Amino acid sequence: MYKVLVSDPISDTGIQALTDHPDFLVEKQTNLTPDQLKSIIGEYDALIVRSQTTVTAEIIQAADRLKVIARAGVGVDNIDIQAATRKGVIVVNAPNGNTIAATEHTLAMMLSLARQIPHAYISMTEGKWDRKTFKGVELFEKTLGVIGTGRIGTEVAKRAKSFEMNILAYDPYLTEEKAQKLGFTKASLDEIAEQADFITVHTPLTKETKGLIDANYLSKTKPGVRIVNCARGGIIDEAALAEAVKSGHVAGAALDVFEHEPLDNETFRHHPNIIVTPHLGASTAEAQEKVAQSVSEEIIDIFTSQNIQHA
């Protein structure tokens, strides 16, 4: 019997194949402190996480039976991959299941930002009927800079085209052929800064992308630009962004992800030109079922046939 620990909330329906499988015993224990996780991890053969659990080198070191860490989602930046590799632990993720959920959340954030919908709603809940404060802008014929055109960036840009936005795309792996086929214009980061009315980031968080949008980059952006981050906290330097919004150079920001989660930045919570959501990009019933199903199948495959699809 292989013991599997699920340490973040994930879809019960999605992990049905695993819970029903005679070779696996699945246990759910969420909201564990790092010390609690460290003290029990030695009992398990596999660990399933979303983004709340940080799987540190210390936890991996204590995981004597662990063969697999499965991330029910895309980003594996909450897992110490090097420590896992040193210990011979396989890390798998579910890269495709939440693409549409994160794409649609990005579009929802962009539209909410353009029309100030969350703040207008709050004003209505306060009994007001304020039609002056909330004059918005249109997406029509605006330029959208997409930084990172992988799964989500590409889907965001495709949908933005239906609003008749011009797409400037930056990604080191974007080919001219793909850009042309999708109707995007390949651009440098500086060209995006100079020309974009909206900028959305869709890269992983890596050494290269940490602080990609910093004070220097923001100073080169078009006055009145609006910025969306539904990828990872830290790609945009939060202090620099807060300053740029306060100064009015950046007209607004819509953020789903943060350097520290849960969010501890009061400026972001309360600024009238900033919209925040608590890392909801992948939070749809459909996406949660798909990612849970995907990692369950991978775990079954690994233990029953040593067949690994995503590593």
To ligand NAD, the closest distance from the beta carbon of 192 in angstroms equals 10
DSSP of 145-164: EEE--SHHHHHHHHHHHHTT
CA distances from 174 to 170, 184, 196, 293 (A): 7, 10, 18, 30
Residue 252 C-beta-side C-alpha neighbours within 13 Å: 22
Q: Shortest CA distance to 136 belongs to which of 111, 161, 153, 171?
A: 111
**59-98: b (≥16 Cβ within 10 Å) or e:** bbeebeebbbbbbbbbbbbbbbeebbeeeebbbbbbbebb
Query: What does residue 251 show for φ and ψ, rounded to 5 degrees?
Result: -75, -25
**Closest chain position to ligand NAD (CB):** 150
- Which partner in ligand MLT, ligand NAD, none is near 151 (CB below 5 to 8 A by kind)? ligand NAD
- Which partner in ligand NAD, ligand MLT, none is near 11 (CB below 5 to 8 A by kind)? none
User: Which single residue is written with the structure tokens 């220097």?
Assistant: 216
Q: How many residues are there in the chain?
A: 311
Site membership for ligand MLT, residue 75 (CB under 6 A): yes
8 A C-beta contact, residue 277 and residue 253 = no
**Any idea what DSSP says for residue 26?**
E
- Which partner in ligand MLT, ligand NAD, none is near 50 (CB below 5 to 8 A by kind)? ligand MLT
- Residue 85 CB contacts under 8 Å (≥ 6 apart), including other chains: none
Catalytic residues: 232, 261, 279
Region near ligand MLT per CB under 6 A, out of 53-61, 72-80, 154-162, 266-274: 72-80
- Residue 152 CB contacts under 8 Å (≥ 6 apart), including other chains: 99, 102, 103, 106, 202, 230, 231
- Which partner in ligand NAD, ligand MLT, none is near 173 (CB below 5 to 8 A by kind)? ligand NAD
To ligand MLT, the closest distance from the beta carbon of 281 in angstroms equals 6
| Cβ closest to ligand MLT, residue 73 vs residue 139 | 73
Tokens found for residue 178: 């793909």
Site membership for ligand MLT, residue 74 (CB under 6 A): yes
Site membership for ligand MLT, residue 73 (CB under 6 A): yes
- Chain positions contacting ligand NAD, by CB under 6 A: 73-75, 95, 98-99, 102, 147-153, 170-173, 202-205, 208-209, 230-232, 256-257, 279, 281-282
Site membership for ligand MLT, residue 234 (CB under 6 A): no
The CA distance from 195 to 168, in Å, is: 9
Q: What's at 55, amino acid-wise? A: V
To ligand NAD, the closest distance from the beta carbon of 43 in angstroms equals 29
**Which sign does the torsion angle of CA 105, 109, 115, 118 carry?**
positive
To ligand MLT, the closest distance from the beta carbon of 133 in angstroms equals 33
Residue among 48, 282, 295, 300 that touches ligand MLT (CB under 6 A): 282
To ligand NAD, the closest distance from the beta carbon of 172 in angstroms equals 6
Site membership for ligand MLT, residue 99 (CB under 6 A): no
To ligand MLT, the closest distance from the beta carbon of 209 in angstroms equals 14
- Which partner in ligand NAD, ligand MLT, none is near 209 (CB below 5 to 8 A by kind)? ligand NAD
- Which partner in ligand NAD, ligand MLT, none is near 221 (CB below 5 to 8 A by kind)? none
**Closest chain position to ligand MLT (CB):** 73
Query: Which parts of this chain interact with ligand MLT (CB under 6 A)?
Result: 50-51, 73-75, 98, 279, 281-282
